[in-house]
Amino acid sequence: MAPAHYLNKIDLTHPKNLQTLVENRRIFNLNNCELNIFESYEATYRVPLTFNDLVITSMVRGKKVMHLFEDPAFDYLPGETVIVPSYQTMVIDFPEASQENPTQCIALAVDDSYIKSTMAYLNEFYNSDREEQQDWQLHFNQYHFDNDAEITALINKLIRVCSSADIAKNIFADLNLKELLIRLVQSQVMSRVKLENTDTNNKTRLNYVLHFINEHLTSKILVNDVCRKAYMSRNAFFFWFKEQLGITPVDYINNERIKLAKQLLAENKYSITQISNQCGFSDSNYFIRLFRKTEGITPGAYKSCMKNECSLKWVG
């Protein structure tokens, strides 16, 4: 299913200002990054694109097919982000692009020295006087993300800042860019930890806590019980957990329960109330509100869509 968190629509280039119908480019330069807005208006295949710096791309409208590294090609759709290292060529297909249905994608090229200095700062700040060390780095074994609310909000802010005439825009861009990098690293950490959860030899505190949560999703989870499992006070646990994954323990638990609910809804065997109970929610009305907030659609509509294999118009 398509993710619920779309970027705000950006005005298309006026037809008289188009330089090309394939990957027409607008550029906004700042001290540490460059915002590119690409648009394509006709179906084309195998278009190469390379940046000299790390690039954070995000789809705004339309569909591309990406050929990246030596991995299988994948559909690139609105609500998704891809990160690509410097000098790595992306080969792109535009199978559905047309004058009536153009593709539009932003690409934030970020200076490599800025990336390194930001990661060095994070490693020094977060690992000083801490028992458990975390390697703050962007990794490219995971490069394709579904946007969450925070990533979408930050990219929207960066687009507004980069394209504005504000004399302080370099300062605002710096603040938002640092937070975006942190969110992307945290997203990678969360994905990596979930994979490591299947490894019974992994004994880190975070792995132990997440394993406990996921083993008890279908029952009532008291945060105080999780704090005790981590041997931390409530305040210290909340600070540590959000520092590790970028979200609170309660948000993590709710997100995992919504993922479980989506699986059960797709099976089409249970009522909404039954699914709410099976996912550890004592109040089905709260479950419905949370599902809509997270996914942009009600559980009932999601269930109908999965049953009918229809295409939904998501609420962003």
Is the model's pLDDT at 311 over the cut of 50? no
Counting Cβ atoms within 10 Å, is residue 96 exposed (0-12), middle (13-18) or buried (19+)? Answer: middle
124 and 184 share one domain: yes
Q: Which residue has the higher pLDDT, 45 or 147?
A: 45
298 domain residue, yes or no: yes
Mark residue 48 as left, alpha or beta (left: phi above 0; alpha: psi -120 to 50; beta: remaining).
beta
- Please check whether residue 3 lies inside any domain of the structure: no
Burial 127-150 (b: 16+ CB within 10 A, else e): eeeeeeebebebeeeebebebbeb
Question: Is 52 part of a structural domain of the chain?
Answer: yes
- Token duo for residue 278: 């099976």
Q: How many residues does the chain have?
A: 316
Most confident by average pLDDT, 83-92, 148-157, 287-296: 83-92
Out of 189, 207, 242, a domain closes at 189
Q: Pick 240 or 199 by higher pLDDT.
A: 240
User: Is 159 a residue whose pLDDT tops 70?
Assistant: yes
pLDDT for 1 beyond 50: no
Of 58-62, 101-105, 289-293, give the lowest mean pLDDT range: 289-293
Same domain, residue pair 238 and 178: no
Statement: the pTM of the whole predicted model exceeds 0.85:
no
CB 114 within 8 A of CB 87: no
Residue 96's contacts (CB-CB under 8 Å, 6 or more residues apart) are: 43, 62, 63, 103
Among 167, 189, 211, give the residue marking a domain's end: 189
Q: Name the residue range of residue 129's domain.
A: 15-189
CB 180 within 8 A of CB 57: no
Cβ neighbourhood burial of 231 (10 Å; 0-12, 13-18, 19+) = exposed
Q: Do 100 and 58 share a structural domain?
A: yes
Say yes or no: 156 and 33 in one domain.
Answer: yes
Q: What is the pLDDT, as a whole number, of residue 199?
A: 54
Residues 204, 183, single domain; the answer is no
Residue 4 resides in a domain: no
CATH code, domain with 180? 2.60.120.810
- Could you say which of 189, 217, 243 is where a domain stops? 189
Between CA 45 and CA 239 the distance in angstroms is 47
Element (H, E) at 67: strand 64-67
Asked, for residue 5, whether it belongs to a domain, the answer is no
Query: How does DSSP classify residue 189?
Result: H
Same domain, 172 and 312: no
Please count the structural domains in the chain: 2
pLDDT tens for residues 235-276?
989 888 887 777 889 988 998 898 899 888 888 888 999 999
* Residues 112 and 219 grouped into a single domain: no
Residue type, 308: N
> 162 with 26, same domain?
yes
In a domain, residue 154? The reply is: yes
265 occurs within a structural domain: yes
Task: Categorize the per-residue pLDDT at 312 as very low, low, confident or very high, splitting at 50, 70 and 90.
Answer: very low
Q: For residue 103, is it within any domain?
A: yes
Higher pLDDT, 268 or 62: 62
Between residues 303 and 21, the one the model is more confident about: 21
Percent share of the chain, pLDDT over 90: 45
166, 19: one domain:
yes
- Can you give the CATH number for the domain in which 272 is found? 1.10.10.60
Judgement on whether residues 274 and 176 belong to the same structural domain of the protein: no
Instruction: Examine the domain organization and report whether 173 and 230 are in the same domain.
Output: no
Do 174 and 209 sit in the same domain of this protein?
no
54 contacts 119 by C-beta, under 8 angstroms: no
Q: In which band, very low, low, confident or very high, does the pLDDT at 231 lie, cut at 50, 70 and 90? A: confident
